[in-house]
Protein backbone atom coordinates (compact mmCIF):
# COMPACT_ATOMS: atom_id res chain seq x y z
CA UNK A 1 0.00 0.00 0.00
CA UNK A 2 1.39 3.39 -0.99
CA UNK A 3 1.02 6.57 1.03
CA UNK A 4 -2.49 7.86 0.33
CA UNK A 5 -4.31 11.17 0.73
CA UNK A 6 -7.50 11.32 2.77
CA UNK A 7 -9.97 14.09 3.50
CA UNK A 8 -10.55 14.07 7.26
CA UNK A 9 -12.90 16.02 9.52
CA UNK A 10 -10.94 17.55 12.39
CA UNK A 11 -12.05 19.71 15.33
CA UNK A 12 -9.16 22.14 15.72
CA UNK A 13 -10.61 24.02 18.67
CA UNK A 14 -13.98 25.02 20.05
CA UNK A 15 -16.38 25.87 17.19
CA UNK A 16 -13.64 25.42 14.60
CA UNK A 17 -14.01 22.32 12.44
CA UNK A 18 -12.24 21.82 9.13
CA UNK A 19 -12.06 19.28 6.34
CA UNK A 20 -8.34 18.77 5.91
CA UNK A 21 -6.34 16.54 3.56
CA UNK A 22 -3.89 14.33 5.44
CA UNK A 23 -1.55 11.49 4.47
CA UNK A 24 -1.93 7.90 5.61
CA UNK A 25 1.75 7.16 6.16
CA UNK A 26 1.45 3.40 6.76
CA UNK A 27 2.98 1.52 3.83
CA UNK A 28 1.87 -1.95 4.89
CA UNK A 29 -1.15 -3.01 6.90
CA UNK A 30 -0.54 -4.55 10.30
CA UNK A 31 -2.14 -7.71 11.61
CA UNK A 32 -5.89 -7.26 12.02
CA UNK A 33 -5.95 -3.96 10.11
CA UNK A 34 -8.28 -2.98 7.29
CA UNK A 35 -8.04 -0.05 4.90
CA UNK A 36 -11.60 1.26 4.44
CA UNK A 37 -12.88 3.90 2.02
CA UNK A 38 -15.79 5.73 3.57
CA UNK A 39 -18.99 6.18 1.56
CA UNK A 40 -21.20 7.94 4.12
CA UNK A 41 -21.05 8.86 7.78
CA UNK A 42 -23.80 10.18 10.01
CA UNK A 43 -23.28 13.04 12.47
CA UNK A 44 -24.23 11.95 15.98
CA UNK A 45 -25.63 15.24 17.21
CA UNK A 46 -25.31 14.81 20.98
CA UNK A 47 -21.86 13.25 21.06
CA UNK A 48 -20.29 15.42 18.38
CA UNK A 49 -21.78 18.79 19.30
CA UNK A 50 -20.58 18.24 22.87
CA UNK A 51 -17.04 18.16 21.47
CA UNK A 52 -17.39 20.83 18.80
CA UNK A 53 -18.76 23.33 21.32
CA UNK A 54 -16.79 22.11 24.37
CA UNK A 55 -19.89 20.96 26.27
CA UNK A 56 -18.14 17.74 27.24
CA UNK A 57 -15.96 18.20 30.31
CA UNK A 58 -12.28 17.63 29.74
CA UNK A 59 -12.44 17.66 25.94
CA UNK A 60 -8.95 18.01 24.47
CA UNK A 61 -8.28 19.27 20.95
CA UNK A 62 -7.69 18.35 18.21
CA UNK A 63 -10.43 15.71 17.90
CA UNK A 64 -11.43 13.50 14.99
CA UNK A 65 -15.24 13.16 15.50
CA UNK A 66 -17.72 10.57 14.34
CA UNK A 67 -18.46 6.89 14.85
CA UNK A 68 -21.26 5.93 12.43
CA UNK A 69 -19.71 5.10 9.05
CA UNK A 70 -20.42 2.89 6.06
CA UNK A 71 -17.73 2.05 3.51
CA UNK A 72 -15.88 -0.60 1.52
CA UNK A 73 -12.74 -2.55 2.34
CA UNK A 74 -9.86 -1.67 0.02
CA UNK A 75 -7.11 -3.79 1.57
CA UNK A 76 -6.74 -6.29 4.42
CA UNK A 77 -3.87 -7.09 6.75
CA UNK A 78 -2.80 -10.46 8.06
CA UNK A 79 -5.41 -12.36 10.05
CA UNK A 80 -8.48 -10.56 8.67
CA UNK A 81 -10.14 -13.77 7.54
CA UNK A 82 -13.71 -12.51 7.85
CA UNK A 83 -13.14 -9.59 5.48
CA UNK A 84 -11.92 -9.23 1.91
CA UNK A 85 -11.43 -6.45 -0.60
CA UNK A 86 -14.76 -5.06 -1.78
CA UNK A 87 -16.74 -5.99 1.33
CA UNK A 88 -19.27 -3.36 2.38
CA UNK A 89 -18.98 -2.68 6.09
CA UNK A 90 -20.77 -0.75 8.82
CA UNK A 91 -18.12 0.37 11.30
CA UNK A 92 -17.34 2.63 14.25
CA UNK A 93 -15.10 4.96 12.30
CA UNK A 94 -14.70 8.75 12.33
CA UNK A 95 -15.54 11.16 9.53
CA UNK A 96 -12.57 10.28 7.33
CA UNK A 97 -12.42 9.42 3.64
CA UNK A 98 -9.80 6.71 4.13
CA UNK A 99 -8.93 5.06 7.40
CA UNK A 100 -7.08 2.21 8.94
CA UNK A 101 -9.37 0.18 11.15
CA UNK A 102 -8.08 -2.38 13.62
CA UNK A 103 -10.56 -5.19 14.15
CA UNK A 104 -11.60 -4.92 17.83
CA UNK A 105 -13.17 -7.29 20.24
CA UNK A 106 -16.71 -6.86 19.00
CA UNK A 107 -18.98 -4.49 20.91
CA UNK A 108 -21.12 -1.52 19.95
CA UNK A 109 -18.26 0.75 21.06
CA UNK A 110 -15.79 -0.76 18.61
CA UNK A 111 -17.84 -2.37 15.89
CA UNK A 112 -17.38 -3.52 12.34
CA UNK A 113 -20.03 -5.58 10.55
CA UNK A 114 -19.96 -6.94 7.01
CA UNK A 115 -23.20 -6.07 5.25
CA UNK A 116 -24.05 -8.94 2.94
CA UNK A 117 -26.22 -8.93 -0.20
CA UNK A 118 -29.35 -8.79 1.95
CA UNK A 119 -28.47 -5.15 2.70
CA UNK A 120 -27.76 -4.12 -0.91
CA UNK A 121 -31.11 -2.33 -1.17
CA UNK A 122 -29.88 0.27 1.35
CA UNK A 123 -28.09 3.31 -0.06
CA UNK A 124 -24.92 4.37 1.72
CA UNK A 125 -26.66 7.32 3.40
CA UNK A 126 -29.56 5.10 4.51
CA UNK A 127 -27.12 2.48 5.81
CA UNK A 128 -25.32 5.13 7.89
CA UNK A 129 -28.53 5.41 9.92
CA UNK A 130 -28.15 1.80 11.11
CA UNK A 131 -25.60 2.69 13.77
CA UNK A 132 -27.78 5.39 15.33
CA UNK A 133 -30.68 2.94 15.12
CA UNK A 134 -28.68 0.55 17.30
CA UNK A 135 -28.15 3.36 19.82
CA UNK A 136 -31.88 4.14 19.85
CA UNK A 137 -32.76 0.49 20.46
CA UNK A 138 -31.00 0.77 23.84
CA UNK A 139 -33.91 3.01 24.83
CA UNK A 140 -36.58 0.36 24.27
CA UNK A 141 -35.02 -3.07 24.77
CA UNK A 142 -34.52 -2.62 28.57
CA UNK A 143 -38.12 -1.44 28.99
CA UNK A 144 -40.66 -3.53 30.85
CA UNK A 145 -43.29 -2.69 28.24
CA UNK A 146 -46.83 -3.91 28.92
CA UNK A 147 -50.01 -3.86 26.83
CA UNK A 148 -51.68 -0.48 27.21
CA UNK A 149 -48.60 1.33 28.54
CA UNK A 150 -48.30 5.08 28.04
CA UNK A 151 -44.80 6.07 26.89
CA UNK A 152 -43.22 9.51 26.75
CA UNK A 153 -39.92 10.34 25.03
CA UNK A 154 -38.17 13.59 25.94
CA UNK A 155 -35.91 14.94 23.20
CA UNK A 156 -36.67 14.37 19.52
CA UNK A 157 -33.22 14.55 18.02
CA UNK A 158 -32.34 11.63 15.78
CA UNK A 159 -31.95 9.07 18.60
CA UNK A 160 -35.05 10.20 20.50
CA UNK A 161 -37.15 10.27 17.35
CA UNK A 162 -36.13 6.74 16.35
CA UNK A 163 -36.76 5.51 19.90
CA UNK A 164 -40.26 6.98 19.90
CA UNK A 165 -41.00 5.40 16.52
CA UNK A 166 -39.82 2.02 17.84
CA UNK A 167 -42.19 2.23 20.83
CA UNK A 168 -45.00 3.22 18.46
CA UNK A 169 -44.20 0.20 16.26
CA UNK A 170 -44.59 -1.99 19.36
CA UNK A 171 -48.15 -0.74 19.77
CA UNK A 172 -47.61 1.62 22.71
CA UNK A 173 -49.35 4.97 22.98
CA UNK A 174 -46.37 7.30 22.58
CA UNK A 175 -45.95 11.02 23.18
CA UNK A 176 -42.81 12.76 21.93
CA UNK A 177 -41.81 16.08 23.51
CA UNK A 178 -39.15 18.57 22.44
CA UNK A 179 -38.52 22.20 23.32
CA UNK A 180 -37.81 23.03 19.65
CA UNK A 181 -41.01 23.44 17.66
CA UNK A 182 -39.45 22.40 14.35
CA UNK A 183 -38.18 19.15 15.85
CA UNK A 184 -41.73 18.38 16.89
CA UNK A 185 -42.91 19.19 13.36
CA UNK A 186 -40.12 17.05 11.88
CA UNK A 187 -41.05 14.14 14.18
CA UNK A 188 -44.65 14.35 13.01
CA UNK A 189 -43.48 14.28 9.40
CA UNK A 190 -41.35 11.23 10.17
CA UNK A 191 -44.43 9.33 11.32
CA UNK A 192 -44.71 9.92 15.07
CA UNK A 193 -48.42 10.33 15.75
CA UNK A 194 -48.41 12.35 18.98
CA UNK A 195 -45.93 15.21 19.37
CA UNK A 196 -45.77 18.36 21.50
CA UNK A 197 -43.36 21.29 21.59
CA UNK A 198 -42.95 22.20 25.27
CA UNK A 199 -40.11 23.23 27.53
CA UNK A 200 -39.29 23.46 31.23
CA UNK A 201 -41.94 22.38 33.73
CA UNK A 202 -44.53 22.71 30.97
CA UNK A 203 -43.33 19.31 29.83
CA UNK A 204 -44.50 17.64 33.04
CA UNK A 205 -47.99 19.14 32.78
CA UNK A 206 -48.13 18.26 29.07
CA UNK A 207 -47.59 14.57 29.81
CA UNK A 208 -50.33 14.29 32.46
CA UNK A 209 -52.73 16.40 30.40
CA UNK A 210 -52.19 14.29 27.29
CA UNK A 211 -52.44 10.85 28.90
CA UNK A 212 -54.87 11.85 31.65
CA UNK A 213 -52.32 10.29 34.03
CA UNK A 214 -48.57 10.02 34.51
CA UNK A 215 -46.60 7.98 31.98
CA UNK A 216 -45.74 4.32 32.59
CA UNK A 217 -42.41 4.52 30.77
CA UNK A 218 -40.43 7.74 30.22
CA UNK A 219 -37.29 7.92 28.11
CA UNK A 220 -34.93 10.87 28.30
CA UNK A 221 -33.11 11.21 25.00
CA UNK A 222 -32.35 14.91 25.46
CA UNK A 223 -29.15 14.39 27.42
CA UNK A 224 -30.12 17.35 29.60
CA UNK A 225 -30.22 17.10 33.38
CA UNK A 226 -33.43 19.12 33.54
CA UNK A 227 -34.95 16.68 31.04
CA UNK A 228 -34.10 13.76 33.32
CA UNK A 229 -35.72 15.54 36.25
CA UNK A 230 -38.88 16.14 34.22
CA UNK A 231 -38.88 12.49 33.12
CA UNK A 232 -38.81 11.29 36.73
CA UNK A 233 -41.40 13.82 37.87
CA UNK A 234 -43.98 12.67 35.29
CA UNK A 235 -43.41 8.92 35.73
CA UNK A 236 -46.15 6.95 37.45
CA UNK A 237 -45.99 4.62 40.44
CA UNK A 238 -44.02 1.45 39.64
CA UNK A 239 -43.05 3.07 36.34
CA UNK A 240 -39.72 3.11 34.58
CA UNK A 241 -37.40 5.93 33.50
CA UNK A 242 -34.78 5.08 30.89
CA UNK A 243 -31.77 7.38 30.53
CA UNK A 244 -30.75 7.23 26.88
CA UNK A 245 -29.12 10.66 26.56
CA UNK A 246 -25.76 11.55 28.14
CA UNK A 247 -25.83 14.65 30.43
CA UNK A 248 -22.68 16.72 29.87
CA UNK A 249 -23.14 20.20 31.32
CA UNK A 250 -23.30 21.37 34.93
CA UNK A 251 -26.76 21.76 36.41
CA UNK A 252 -27.53 22.96 39.94
CA UNK A 253 -30.74 21.63 41.49
CA UNK A 254 -32.10 20.44 44.82
CA UNK A 255 -32.69 16.78 44.01
CA UNK A 256 -34.44 15.80 47.26
CA UNK A 257 -37.92 15.91 45.66
CA UNK A 258 -36.65 13.80 42.76
CA UNK A 259 -35.03 11.17 44.98
CA UNK A 260 -38.10 11.13 47.20
CA UNK A 261 -40.35 10.51 44.19
CA UNK A 262 -38.16 7.64 42.97
CA UNK A 263 -38.36 6.11 46.44
CA UNK A 264 -42.01 6.73 47.26
CA UNK A 265 -43.34 5.89 43.78
CA UNK A 266 -41.00 2.90 43.47
CA UNK A 267 -39.74 4.10 40.09
CA UNK A 268 -37.03 2.12 38.32
CA UNK A 269 -34.31 4.25 36.69
CA UNK A 270 -32.36 2.40 33.99
CA UNK A 271 -29.14 3.52 32.32
CA UNK A 272 -29.13 2.78 28.58
CA UNK A 273 -25.65 3.70 27.38
CA UNK A 274 -24.46 2.24 24.09
CA UNK A 275 -22.65 -1.03 24.67
CA UNK A 276 -25.43 -2.55 26.76
CA UNK A 277 -25.66 -5.66 24.58
CA UNK A 278 -22.99 -8.07 23.31
CA UNK A 279 -22.12 -8.25 19.63
CA UNK A 280 -23.21 -11.86 19.24
CA UNK A 281 -25.88 -13.79 21.12
CA UNK A 282 -24.77 -14.90 24.59
CA UNK A 283 -26.24 -17.45 26.95
CA UNK A 284 -29.00 -15.93 29.06
CA UNK A 285 -29.95 -13.14 26.66
CA UNK A 286 -31.76 -13.03 23.33
CA UNK A 287 -30.43 -9.58 22.52
CA UNK A 288 -27.27 -8.89 20.52
CA UNK A 289 -25.93 -6.21 18.17
CA UNK A 290 -26.27 -8.60 15.24
CA UNK A 291 -29.92 -9.34 16.03
CA UNK A 292 -30.73 -5.67 16.59
CA UNK A 293 -29.06 -4.67 13.32
CA UNK A 294 -31.20 -7.13 11.36
CA UNK A 295 -34.35 -6.01 13.20
CA UNK A 296 -33.71 -2.31 12.57
CA UNK A 297 -32.94 -2.86 8.89
CA UNK A 298 -36.25 -4.73 8.56
CA UNK A 299 -38.06 -1.69 10.00
CA UNK A 300 -36.47 0.51 7.33
CA UNK A 301 -37.44 -1.96 4.62
CA UNK A 302 -41.10 -2.13 5.68
CA UNK A 303 -41.34 1.66 5.97
CA UNK A 304 -41.71 1.87 9.75
CA UNK A 305 -38.49 3.91 9.80
CA UNK A 306 -38.11 6.26 6.84
CA UNK A 307 -34.52 7.60 6.55
CA UNK A 308 -35.61 10.27 4.06
CA UNK A 309 -37.89 11.73 6.72
CA UNK A 310 -35.22 11.62 9.44
CA UNK A 311 -32.06 12.86 7.68
CA UNK A 312 -32.71 16.52 6.89
CA UNK A 313 -29.36 17.33 5.24
CA UNK A 314 -26.89 15.38 3.10
CA UNK A 315 -23.64 17.33 2.84
CA UNK A 316 -20.19 17.11 1.34
CA UNK A 317 -17.25 16.96 3.81
CA UNK A 318 -16.22 20.53 3.05
CA UNK A 319 -19.55 21.82 4.42
CA UNK A 320 -19.22 20.10 7.81
CA UNK A 321 -18.79 23.27 9.91
CA UNK A 322 -21.94 24.69 8.32
CA UNK A 323 -23.77 21.51 9.34
CA UNK A 324 -22.46 21.61 12.93
CA UNK A 325 -23.49 25.27 13.19
CA UNK A 326 -26.93 24.42 11.85
CA UNK A 327 -27.42 21.48 14.20
CA UNK A 328 -26.32 23.54 17.22
CA UNK A 329 -27.68 27.02 16.48
CA UNK A 330 -30.53 26.34 14.05
CA UNK A 331 -32.36 23.19 15.18
CA UNK A 332 -35.45 24.70 13.57
CA UNK A 333 -33.79 23.95 10.21
CA UNK A 334 -31.30 21.13 10.85
CA UNK A 335 -32.37 17.88 12.53
CA UNK A 336 -29.90 15.31 11.20
CA UNK A 337 -26.98 15.47 8.78
CA UNK A 338 -25.13 12.79 6.84
CA UNK A 339 -21.79 13.27 5.08
CA UNK A 340 -21.56 11.92 1.53
CA UNK A 341 -17.96 10.88 0.79
CA UNK A 342 -18.55 9.56 -2.73
Q: What is the pLDDT of residue 331?
A: 85
Q: Does domain 142-271 have CATH number 3.40.50.720?
A: yes
CATH architecture assigned to 4-134+279-340: Alpha-Beta Complex (3.90)
By the 8 A CB rule, do 114 and 83 touch? yes
Q: What is the spatial distance between Cα 136 and Cα 124, in angstroms, rounded to a whole number? A: 19
Q: Read off the pLDDT band of 81 (50, 70, 90).
A: confident
What is this structure's pTM?
0.89
Outline which parts of the chain fall under CATH 3.90.180.10: 4-134+279-340
Q: Read off the pLDDT band of 302 (50, 70, 90).
A: very high
Determine phi and psi for 201, rounding to 5 degrees. -70, -15
pLDDT higher than 60, residue 124 = yes
Residue range 49-64: average pLDDT? Answer: 91
Q: What is the pLDDT of residues 144-153, one digit of tens each?
A: 999 999 999 9
Q: What is the pLDDT of residue 286?
A: 77
Q: What is the spatial distance between Cα 227 and Cα 247, in angstroms, rounded to a whole number? A: 9
Q: What is the pLDDT of residues 167-226, one digit of tens each?
A: 999 999 999 999 988 889 889 989 999 999 998 889 999 999 999 999 999 999 998 999
Lowest mean pLDDT across 82-86, 139-143, 213-217, 331-335: 331-335
Q: What is the spatial distance between Cα 241 and Cα 152, in angstroms, rounded to a whole number? A: 10
Of the chain, the percentage scoring pLDDT greater than 70 comes to 96
217 class by beta-carbon count within 10 Å (0-12 exposed, 13-18 middle, 19+ buried): buried
Of the chain, the percentage scoring pLDDT greater than 90 comes to 72
Task: Select the more confidently predicted residue: 117 or 288.
Answer: 117
How many CB atoms within 10 Å of residue 248? 19
Helix (H) or strand (E) holding 49: helix 45-52
**Residue 71: C-alpha distances to residues 90, 114, 138, 140, 183 (Å):** 7, 10, 24, 28, 29
Cα 136 from chain centroid (whole Å)? 6
Q: What is the pLDDT of residue 249?
A: 84
Outline which parts of the chain fall under CATH 3.40.50.720: 142-271
For the four alpha carbons of 219, 222, 224 and 230, in that order, the dihedral sign comes to negative
Amino acid sequence: MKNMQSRNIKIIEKANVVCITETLDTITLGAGELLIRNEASLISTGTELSRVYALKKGVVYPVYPGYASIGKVEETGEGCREFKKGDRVLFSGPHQELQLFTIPEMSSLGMIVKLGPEFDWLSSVEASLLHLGLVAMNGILPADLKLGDKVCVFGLGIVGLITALLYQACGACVLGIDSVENRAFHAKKAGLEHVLAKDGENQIAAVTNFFGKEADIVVDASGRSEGIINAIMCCTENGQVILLGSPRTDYVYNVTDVFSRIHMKMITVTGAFNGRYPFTKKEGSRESIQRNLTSFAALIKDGTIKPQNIISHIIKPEAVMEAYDGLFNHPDIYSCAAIDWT
